[in-house]
Structure 1
Amino acid sequence: MQNAHLIEKIKNLSKSFLPEFISVRRHLHAYPELSFQEDETSKYLRKYLISLGVDTVKQVANTGLLATIQGKSKGPSVLLRSDMDALPITEENTFEFASQNLGVMHACGHDAHVASLLMCAKILMQLKNEFAGEVQLLFQPAEELWPGGATKVLEDKVYKDLGAIPHVGQHVRPDLPVGKVGFRSGKFMASMDEIFLTVKGKGGHAAMPEIAVDPVLISSHIIVAAQQLVSRMASPKTPSVLSFGKVIADGAINVLPNEVYIEGTFRTMDETWRLDALKKLEKLIKGIADSMGGTAELTFKNGYPHLINDSLLTPLLHQKASEYLGAENVVEMEQWMAAEDFAYYSQNGPSCFYMLGVGNIEKGIASGLHTPTFNIDEQALEIGGGLMAYLALSQL
C-alpha cells in the first residue's frame, strides 16, 4: 500500500473512531485504579479487545494484557505499549466524568494512552489483510509505583516468548500543543533514585543549644552541601538533579528535636555516574553529620534507569511522523528529567518513546502532569491512535 493512500485511510478511520474513544477515555478517567490494582480496568480492556476481534489476549504481569494482531501472513513484529494505572491524587476537575474513586485520579494521562492504543487496535484490525507480520499491544500495569510494572512484564514468560522486537510508546505532554508530537534520539529521560535520611542528634531546650546536638542545623548543612554532588562532582556534560522535597523536624519554637527525617530524589542520565554519585552522597552526608556531633542513617531505593531512544529506530519514526502529520507538527524534544519505567524496555532493546501534545491554552487545558486539575484536549486521541497505527505499520 502506498504511503499517501495508507495515511489517508488511517486518518479517515481515526477521525470516524474519535467519538467512540473519547467515550472510552472518559470511562477510564471516571474509574481510575492504583498501581498493581488495575483489576476492573483489565477486565474492561480484555472485553474491549475481544470485541474488536484481536487474535489473542493474554494476561501479563498480573493485571496487564498482551494482545496480538496478526497480519495476512508472517513477517516482522513490533510492540506498542500503553500504561494503565492512576495516581493517589484527589481530582479537582468538576466535569461529569471526573474520578468516581475518591483519592485516585488519572493525572498522568494513562487513560488517554489506553484509549489511543485501543483506537490503534481497531484501526489495525480494519487493515489486517493489508500487512504482513504481527503487532503486539501491551497494556502495562503500575508505571507509577516502584519497582514499576515493566519489571514484572520483563520477567513474564508471555512477554519473553516474543523475543527481541522494537518497542514503541507514547506519553501525553500538556506543554506541547494538541496537533503536535515530539521525538528525541538518544538519552531522553532520567534515572530515578529515592533518598530516605534520618539525621540524629540530641534534643533539648532551644534556649540552651550548647547542651544539645541540633539535628535541624546538621540537616540544613547537609541539604546545602549535598548540592555540590551536582555542581562540583558531576560532569557538566551529564545532566543531574538532586532535590529534597520532604523535611520533618518535629520540634517547636523552643524545642530542638532528637532527629530530623528527610526524603529526596537523585536523577541523572548516566548509569555509571548514577552508582558513583550515590556512594559519594552517602559519604558526604555521614561525614557532615559526624563532624557536627550527630549521626545519619541513609537508605536508597533504586528506581528506574534512564531512558534511551534508539539511534536508528527513533529518526525513522520521526520521519514517518512527519509524513503523517507534516514536518511542522513534529518537534525535537529537550531532555526531560522525569522518569518512566519504559526505560527498562529501552535498556533491553531498540525502543522509541515519543510525546503526544494534549495542551490547549485557549480551552484552559494547561495544567501539568500529576496535578489535581490535569486534563487533555481529547482531539489528541485522533492523533494518538492514528499515528501509532501508522508507526507500527512502518515497522512491518
Structure 2
Amino acid sequence: MDTAKRYCEVADLARSAEELCTLRHHLHQHPELAYEELETAALVAQKLEQWGYQVTTGVGQTGVVGSLTVGEGTRSIGIRADMDALPIHEQTGLPYASRRHGKMHACGHDGHTTMLLGAAKYLAETRHFSGTVHLYFQPAEEHGIKSGALSMIKDGLFERFPCDAVFGLHNHPGAPAGKFLFRRGPLQAAGDNVYITIKGNGGHAARPHLTVDPVVVASSIVMGLQTIVARNVDPTQPAVVTVGVLQAGTANNVIPGNARLELSVRSFSPEMRALLKERITGLVHQQAASYGAEAEIDYCMGYPVVINSDRETAFAVEVAKELVGANNVEPHTDLLMGSEDFAYLLQARPGCFLRIGNGDGEDGCMVHNPAYDFNDRNLPIGAAYWARLVERFLAQP
C-alpha cells in the first residue's frame, strides 16, 4: 500500500471550495488593522470551537490559538496564519470589496486565515494524526514595529502551546497560482526603519546666505546614502537603503527650518545590519555638520531575517511535492527583500516559512496595492497542504 495515499489530497478540500470562497470574501469585506482584529478573531474562535478545538483568545492582545490532540502521539506542530489588513483604500471594484473605507486586505491575510481554517475543519473531521496541532492565528503582522508574532511569544505562546516545529506561508504574486516556493536558510530580509530630522535655520528665500537650508542638506544626504550599498557593502551581499519620505517646507518663498527623511533598510545578516546602521548614522551626522546643520536620528530595528531550518524545510518541500507534484514546487527560490515577522517564531522554534504563487500576468498584482486580491484558486490547495503537513508530521515516530 502506498502510504502517501492515506494523507490529504487537494480533491479532499476541493469539495469545500465554495464554502472557503464565501468565508474568504466575508473576511475581505470586513478588514481590521493591527491589534483591531476583534471581529476576525471572534469569527476564527467561533469556527474552531464549533469543530471541537480547545480555543484560547486574547493571545498577544487579539491573537487566537486553536489546539487539537488526537491519539497518544507526543509530537506537536504549530501552523501560523496572519489576520490583519492594511490602511489602503481598495480600488478593485469587486462585489466583495472592502466595506470599510481606507482599510483593505491588500496582502492576502484573508486568504491565509481562510486556508488555515479550511485545514482546521478537515483535520477535526478526519483526525488522521496522532499528536497535537496548534493553530496560531496572529494579529499585527503589518504593524512593522510592534510585531504580532513577538506579542504572542511574549504572551507565552510556545510555553502555553508548545510545538516541535512551526510553519507559515505567504502568497506570492508573480508565480503561478498553486506553485510552492521554498528556500533553506535565509529567505526574507531584516527590515529596519530610520527617521531623520534635519535641523537648519530657516528664512526668506531671497536671502539664502542668512539661513542654513535643510532642503539642501537633506538632498545631499539622499545622494550620499546611495553610496553605502554601492561602495561600503560587499557586492556579493544583498542590501537595500531606500529613502521613502523627504518632507520640507510649505511655501516656495520660505526656506524651512527643518526637513525630514524616512528610510527603509534591508539586509540578510546581523553583520550587514550593523554595518548599514553604522554607515547611515555616520554619514547623516557628518553630511549635516558639513552644512552647519544638525541631524537627529531615530533608528528603529524592525523584523529580523527569516531563516528556515534545513530539516523542516526539506520536510515541507517533500510534502508539497507529494501534494502537487515536483513541477509545481521550487525548492530553492530567490531571496526576498520583503520582511516578515514570522522570523521571530523561527528564532524560537525550528520551522519553515514558504510561499504559494498568487498568479502571474494579469493575476499577479503586487501586494500592498489597492488593486490586489488574493487568488481563490489557492484556497483548497493551501488548506490541503496544511492538512497533509500536519498528518505527515504527526505520523512520524
Normalising by structure 2, we get a TM-score of 0.95
Identify if the C-alpha distance between structure 1 residues 78 and 164 changes in structure 2 by more than 3 Å, giving closer, same or farther.
closer
Alignment of 1:129-278 (within 5 A): 130-145=128-143, 146-163=145-162, 165-278=164-277
Q: Structure 1 counterpart of 2:351, which letter?
A: S
Gapped regions of structure 2 (runs ≥ 5): none
TM-superposed deviation, 1:253? 3.0
SS at match of 2:354: strand
TM-superposed deviation, 1:237? 3.1
The question of whether the paired residues in 2 share the 8 Å contact of 1:56 and 1:68 is answered with yes
The question of whether the paired residues in 1 share the 8 Å contact of 2:176 and 2:358 is answered with yes
TM-superposed deviation, 1:194? 0.7
1:190-239 per-position Cα deviation (integer Å, ceiling 9, x unaligned): 11111111112122333332222121111111111112221222222322
Gapped regions of structure 1 (runs ≥ 5): none
Identity of aligned residues (%): 35
The question of whether the paired residues in 1 share the 8 Å contact of 2:67 and 2:134 is answered with yes
Matched residue, 1:351 = 351
1:350-380 per-position Cα deviation (integer Å, ceiling 9, x unaligned): 120111112154xx42221001110122011
The question of whether the paired residues in 2 share the 8 Å contact of 1:50 and 1:57 is answered with no
TM-superposed deviation, 1:317? 1.1
Q: Structure 2 counterpart of 1:132, which letter?
A: S
Q: Structure 2 counterpart of 1:95, which letter?
A: L
What do you get for the CA RMSD once the two structures are aligned? Answer: 1.6
TM-superposed deviation, 1:251? 4.5
Alignment of 1:1-396 (within 5 A): 2-7=2-7, 9-128=8-127, 130-145=128-143, 146-163=145-162, 165-331=164-330, 332-359=332-359, 361=361, 364-396=362-394
The question of whether the paired residues in 2 share the 8 Å contact of 1:58 and 1:158 is answered with no
Identify if the C-alpha distance between structure 1 residues 210 and 176 changes in structure 2 by more than 3 Å, giving closer, same or farther.
same
SS at match of 2:363: coil
Question: How many residues are aligned here?
Answer: 392
SS at match of 2:28: helix
Distance 2:119 2:210 in 1: 68
SS at match of 2:98: coil
SS at match of 1:213: coil
Distance 1:274 1:392 in 2: 35
1:239-258 per-position Cα deviation (integer Å, ceiling 9, x unaligned): 21100111111143332211
